């Protein structure tokens, strides 16, 4: 059945001047829009009907429920708006602090504790070459430590256990196959967290400094080690040693203990 040409809801009642009028429960706006010349009469019949009238009770109940839902819907966002900015600011501040702490760790030298045949400066992990002409594509080596932090010697020990050279944005990586390495493996520079076929570098970049100052590759018994012999570089004033990993307990302590220091 229709009312003023529109399909109406499941309830209807007789109305003066019209044989039958169907009223959509909970949506009186449809009646108003469709039957403006009848709406007053219809609402009067609804309001004046006895309280025992099921239609009126259900309709009134629906309107009250609708108003309550509307009030709740309006109230909740206002509370959220008043609280959210402070909470959001706190979360952003905390996130920023954590990120800064992780990303702005102070650069330092990675220096051998025992100075061996270089009592005046000791040995530090170094990139082959000179500032402005570095060779990060070649294995790392131990060079007598520089007086200050330079692009070829400054490192950052990250919270993930990676040792990064900020100047080239690469991490110390043990040479190996898949994710495994053997004693005597050299140290390379690769992208931090990089993973390539046959060379899962991420696992080969995670180190920890134990209570004996040994820098150990996580999950192995391999430690960062310098060779037993030294030689001069292109300058007779500078010396170098081979750098590799070896079985921690089988290497003399003088060649396997390290420290992070700022010159």
In the predicted structure, residue 106 carries a pLDDT above the cut 50: yes
pLDDT at 62: 52
pLDDT at 240 > cutoff 60 = yes
Residue with tokens 């702005």: 104
88-97, 178-187, 214-223: lowest mean pLDDT where? Answer: 88-97
Cα–Cα distance, 115 to 84 (Å, whole number): 57
Tokens for 123, please give them: 């040995």
What confidence score (pLDDT) does residue 132 get? 86
* Predicted local distance difference test score (pLDDT) of residue 262: 94
Query: What does residue 91 show for φ and ψ, rounded to 5 degrees?
Result: -65, -40
Percent of the chain with pLDDT over 90: 53
The tens digit of pLDDT for each residue in 131-179 reads 889 999 999 999 999 999 999 999 999 999 999 999 999 999 999 999 8
* More confident of the two residues 209 and 85: 209
Cα separation, 33 vs 243, in Å, equals 86
What pTM does this model have?
0.60
Closest CA to 28 of 2, 63, 53, 72: 63
Delineate the domains of the chain, giving CATH numbers in brackets. Answer: 2-48 (no CATH), 109-261 (2.80.10.50)
Rounded to an integer, what distance in angstroms lies between the CA atom of residue 192 and that of residue 163? Answer: 9
3-state secondary structure 177-238: EECECCCCCEEEEECCCCCECCECCCHHHCEEECCCCEEEECCCCEEEEECCCCEECCCCCC
**Per-residue pLDDT at 76:** 46
Separation in Å, CA 152 to CA 83, 165, 175, 207, 209: 50, 8, 20, 20, 22
> Residue 176: its pLDDT value, please?
95
Measured distance CA(240)–CA(114) in Å, rounded: 15
- Over residues 198-213, the mean pLDDT reads 93
11-15, 153-157, 238-242, 245-249: segment of lowest average pLDDT: 11-15
pLDDT band at 2 (very low <50, low <70, confident <90, very high): very low
Cα angle 67-68-73, degrees, rounded to a multiple of 5: 100
Q: How does pLDDT run across 9-40, given as a tens digit for each residue?
A: 444 444 444 444 444 444 444 443 344 444 44
Q: What is the pLDDT of residue 67?
A: 57
Instruction: Answer with the residue of higher pLDDT: 97 or 245.
Output: 245
């Amino acid at each position: 059945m229709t009312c003023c040409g529109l399909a109406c809801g499941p309830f209807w009642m007789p109305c003066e001047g019209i044989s039958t009028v169907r009223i959509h429960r909970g949506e009186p706006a449809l009646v108003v829009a469709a039957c403006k010349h009848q709406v007053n009469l219809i609402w009067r019949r609804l309001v004046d009907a006895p309280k025992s009238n099921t239609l009126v009770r259900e309709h009134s109940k629906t309107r009250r429920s609708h108003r309550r839902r509307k009030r709740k819907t309006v109230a909740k966002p206002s509370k959220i708006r008043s609280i959210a900015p402070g909470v959001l600011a706190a979360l952003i501040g905390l996130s920023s602090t954590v990120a800064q702490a992780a990303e702005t760790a102070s650069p330092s030298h990675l220096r051998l504790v025992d100075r061996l045949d270089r009592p005046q400066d000791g040995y530090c992990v170094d990139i082959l070459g000179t500032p402005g002409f570095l060779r990060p594509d070649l294995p790392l080596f131990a060079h007598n430590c520089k007086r200050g932090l330079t692009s070829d010697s400054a490192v950052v020990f990250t919270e993930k256990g990676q040792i990064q050279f900020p100047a080239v944005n690469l991490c110390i990586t043990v040479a190996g196959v898949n994710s495994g390495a053997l004693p005597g493996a050299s140290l390379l520079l690769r992208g931090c967290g990089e993973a390539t076929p046959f060379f899962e570098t991420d696992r080969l970049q995670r180190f920890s400094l134990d209570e004996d100052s040994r820098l150990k590759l996580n999950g192995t018994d391999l430690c960062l080690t310098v060779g037993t012999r030294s030689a001069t570089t292109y300058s007779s004033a500078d010396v170098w040693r081979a750098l590799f990993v070896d079985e921690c307990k089988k290497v003399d302590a003088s060649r396997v203990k390290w420290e992070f220091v700022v010159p």
